[in-house]
Structure 1
Amino acid sequence: MASGGPAADLMAVIDDAHRTPAAWEDTRGTLEAAQWFWLATVRPDGRPHLVPLLAIWMDDALHFAASPNSRKGRNLARDPHCTIATREHGVDLVIEGEAVRVTDESRLRRIAAAYAAKYGWQVAVRDGALYGNGAPTAGPPPYAVYALTPATAFGFPAGQQFPPTRWRFASGSD
Structure 2
Amino acid sequence: MPSQEPRTDVDARYSSEGAAATPWPQARDALAAAELFWISTVRPDGRPHVTPLSALWQGGALYFSTGPAERKALNLQTNPEVVLTTGANLWDKGLDVVVEGTAVRVTDDARLRELAAAWEEKYGGFFHYDVGDGCFQHASGQAYVFAVAPRTAFGFAKGEPFSQTRYRFG
Counterpart for residue 34 of structure 2: 34
- TM-score, normalization by structure 1: 0.87
Counterpart for residue 2 of structure 1: 3
1:35-74 matches, cutoff 5 A:
35-74=35-74
Q: Distance in 2 between matches of 1:72 and 1:130?
A: 16
1:84-99 matches, cutoff 5 A:
84-87=84-87, 90-99=94-103
Q: How many residues align?
A: 162
| CA-to-aligned-CA distance 1:39-69 (integer Å, 9 cap, x gap) | 0000011110000000000111000000121
Q: Which runs of 4+ in 1 moved over 6 A?
A: none
| Structure 2 stretches lacking a partner, 5+ long | none
Offset at 1:14?
5.3
- With over 3 angstroms needed to count, the CA separation of the structure-2 counterparts of 1:132 and 1:111, relative to structure 1, is same
Percent identity, aligned pairs only, is: 43
Q: Distance in 2 between matches of 1:2 and 1:124?
A: 31
- Whether 1:165 aligns to 2:165 is yes
Amino acid at match of 2:96: D
Provide the secondary structure at the position in 2 that maps to 1:157: strand
| Structure 1 stretches lacking a partner, 5+ long | 134-139
Counterpart for residue 111 of structure 1: 115
Q: Distance in 2 between matches of 1:123 and 1:6?
A: 33
- With over 3 angstroms needed to count, the CA separation of the structure-2 counterparts of 1:2 and 1:39, relative to structure 1, is same
- TM-score, normalization by structure 2: 0.89
